[in-house]
Amino acid sequence: MKFRLSAYAASALVLALLTAGAHAQSYGAPSGRNSVDFFSPADQWSGFYAGVHGGVVDHGRVPNPFGNSKAFEGGLQLGTNVQFGNFVVGAEAAATYSHDFRHDMGSGASLKQSWSGSAKARAGVALDQILLYGTLGYGVARLEPNGSVTSGAVNVGGLVFGGGAEFAMTEQLTLRLDYTQSRYNGVGFTAGGLKQTRDIVDHSVRAGVSFQF
């Protein structure tokens, strides 16, 4: 049920951004000598980009940068955008390494997440040099045995969604801050001679830099 509600929430977020973009395109500032242009040029966000990101990740809750359960992560992103007026759509692939990020499975059992990757669609609204966007896609993660877990490493997949804001410093350089939730349901492992399954949720807050070309 939680998985379904999260999927519905992610879909609603993207739909809301699509609607906002359509309205912004229809009701943008009128052209004229005395009008004010609040929106970016038509090609401000169009094109391919690549960059790096880093931040914190936690399991089961939004990470507290000063908390003990969070872990640090960093990686690369590669994507493309197409802009229609002030409405932007695109796609992005990302690969992320997590440092000493462990999921507690109980009774001394844990799974260590070393890396993750995702392929996501992006949709948003460009307001001058700022892009507000939502994301929805599919992610995979590598989970390795730790503690009393006796089963082997596994690759798991699931829904990934979130949103954020990106700021164009120049025509090529952008800065971003976003939140991503990754849900991996029914993760199987063996501990204490018993086969078990758990649902795993990652919450990530990341900052990033991208170069558009």
**DSSP string covering 140-186:** EEEEEEEETB-S--EEEEEEEEEEEEEEESSSSEEEEEEEEEEEEEE
Of the pLDDT bands very low, low, confident and very high (cuts 50, 70, 90), residue 185 is very high
* CB neighbour list of residue 73: distance below 8 Å, 6 or more residues apart: 54, 55, 56, 57, 96, 97, 98, 99, 101, 204, 206
Domain borders along the chain are: 2-27+39-212
62 pLDDT tier (thresholds 50, 70, 90): confident
Asked whether residue 203 carries a pLDDT value surpassing 80, the answer given is yes
At 113, is the secondary structure helix, strand, or coil? strand
Fold that domain 2-27+39-212 belongs to in CATH:
Porin (2.40.160)
Per-residue model confidence (pLDDT) at position 67: 62
Rounded Cα gap, residues 138 and 160, in angstroms: 5
Q: Per-residue pLDDT for 142 more than 80?
A: yes
β pairing state of 87-106 and 109-127: antiparallel
The pTM of the whole model exceeds 0.95: no
Is the Cβ–Cβ distance between 136 and 10 less than 8 Å? Answer: yes
DSSP 181-195: EEEEEEEEEEETTEE
Tens digits of residue pLDDT in 109-126: 999 999 999 999 999 999
CA distance 49 to 29: 28
pLDDT in tens, 147-160: 999 999 999 999 99
Q: Which H or E element spans position 109? A: strand 109-127
Dihedral sign (CA 136, 143, 94, 201):
positive
**pLDDT at residue 19 greater than cutoff 50:** no
